Amino acid sequence: MSIRINEDRCIGCGRCTEACPGNLILLQDGAAGRKAKIREVRDCWGCTACMKECPVS
């Protein structure tokens, strides 16, 4: 299982990047602003720590 980040909803707060025990999420600046991005989807083991921290679910 892997998470999927909804870039339309992400506000770039960075909480998920701190929550991930595997340090799998980074913040990336783009045209739509700062968004979370998962480094390698296959590395995610679905612990959901990032989802619990995300203010926009």
Distances (CA, A) of 16 to 13, 19, 49: 8, 5, 8
Q: Is the dihedral of CA 30, 12, 16, 53 positive or negative?
A: negative
Binding to ligand SF4 (CB under 6 A) within 18-57 occurs at 19-20, 22, 24-25, 36, 38, 44-50, 53-56
Q: Which of 16, 29, 31, 32 binds ligand SF4 (CB under 6 A)?
A: 16
- The answer to whether residues 16 and 52 touch, using CB atoms and an 8 Å cutoff, is no
Closest approach, Cβ 17 to ligand SF4, in A, equals 7
Q: Which of 13, 32, 33, 37 binds ligand SF4 (CB under 6 A)?
A: 13
